[in-house]
Amino acid sequence: MRAGPLSNSEVIQTLNEKFINTWVTLRELPELIEGAKGERVSLFAKSIKDYYVYPVDIQILSPEAIVIMHQPESKFPDGNRVRGYLMLLEYTLAEKPSLESNDLSLRKQLMEVSNTFRAPGAGYQDYTPIEIDTTPFEQGGTLIIDIEVGEGEATGSFDLYDADVELPTEGFPTDALASVWDIPPGVTGQMIYRFESGQRFKLGATGNWFCEKGSTNTFIARVSVVPAETEEGEASS
């Protein structure tokens, strides 16, 4: 890493301006967890230990010590490692926590799907489609899709469409209702979309435009809904 991404000036500038940076060795974790550097450091050390992958694991945590992503250095995408590292940083900076996504008690689980996607090449789309049915929620609600990308070669991009829309095969997904792009291998992303009444959707999974054409990866999509009546009850309580 020191001879690659961490020697790049853009990476260093992004890290210095947007993150609080540190490193810790595995042998130091037990002492830190026991409180040698205080309660807050102990909380962070516990989170690091829960996700750590030997020998080097890149981790980004929120101020609350929640692991936003982790990327084993040994499984770092081949090719342009500087761009790959910047992509990881940009992705985590774009993540925005929400009430619905954090409060699991409000969710109604719909489905869990595992499948694969393929990188189509720059300028094209090659979607693996997933059908989602929210018609039982007549009053609408918030659709939440947690997407876990596997540790294969390709970086994932995901677009949500109305069920009646024909999935495009090229160009930007201008008809998409919601999107989450550039989820790196081994990272989990989240898509949130509010709908006014029950309807059917299509989730399209594809490799992003920066992957090698034809490269593949796996993904798991966990789909849930926070019903509108639940949101209103929470807001008024």
Provide DSSP, 32-94.
HHTTTT-HHHHHHHHHHHHH--SS-EEEEE-TTS-EEEEEEGGGPPSS-HHHHHHHHHHHHHH
> Are 107 and 210 found together in one domain?
yes
Mean pLDDT in residue range 104-119: 89
**Looking at residue 106, what is its pLDDT?**
78
**Which residues sit opposite 146 in a β-bridge?**
190, 222
| pLDDT surpassing 70 at residue 234 | no
Do 9 and 30 belong to one domain? yes
Last residue of a domain, one of 74, 94, 114: 94
Higher pLDDT, 107 or 21: 21
Please identify which residue in the block is written with the tokens 């949101």. 231
Find out whether the peptide bond into 55 is cis, omega within 30 degrees of 0: yes
C-alpha span between 144 and 224 (Å, rounded)? 5
Q: What is the pLDDT of residues 31-69, one digit of tens each?
A: 999 999 999 899 899 988 887 877 888 888 888 787 777
Per-residue pLDDT at 77 exceeds 60: no
Instruction: Please give the pLDDT value at position 51.
Output: 75
Give the domain CATH number at 198. Answer: 2.60.120.380
| Total tally of structural domains belonging to the chain | 2
pLDDT for 98 beyond 80: no
- Convert the pLDDT of each residue in 188-230 to its tens digit: 888 888 899 999 999 999 999 888 999 999 999 999 999 987 6
- Of 51, 74, 94, the residue at which a domain comes to its end is 94
Instruction: Give residue 64's domain range.
Output: 5-94
| Residue 189, Cβ density class (10 Å: 0-12 exposed, 13-18 middle, ≥19 buried) | buried
Predicted confidence band of residue 97 (pLDDT cuts 50, 70, 90)? very low
Residues 114 and 209 in one domain: yes
Q: What are phi and psi of 211, to 5 degrees?
A: -80, 160
Residues 35, 116: one domain?
no
Q: Are residues 183 and 84 in the same domain?
A: no
Q: Is the pLDDT of residue 7 over 70?
A: yes
Which three-class secondary structure string do you get for 96-153? CCCHHHHCHHHCEEEEEEEEEEECCCCCECCCEEEEEECCCCCCCEEEEEEEEECCCC
Q: Are residues 218 and 190 in the same domain?
A: yes
Q: Supply the pTM of this predicted model.
A: 0.60
pLDDT per position as a tens digit, 112-168: 999 999 999 988 999 999 999 999 999 999 999 999 999 999 999 999 999 999 999
Q: Tell whether 42 and 130 lie within a shared domain.
A: no
- Same-domain check for residues 138 and 29: no
Rounded distance between C-alpha atoms, residue 81 and residue 201, angstroms: 35
Quick one: pLDDT at residue 186?
Answer: 87
With bands split at pLDDT 50, 70 and 90, how would you rate the model's confidence at 235?
A: very low
Listed residue (215, 97, 84) closest to 150, CA to CA: 215
Q: Mutual orientation of helices 9-18 and 81-94 as an angle, nearest 10°? A: 20
Q: Please check whether residues 143 and 192 belong to one and the same domain.
A: yes
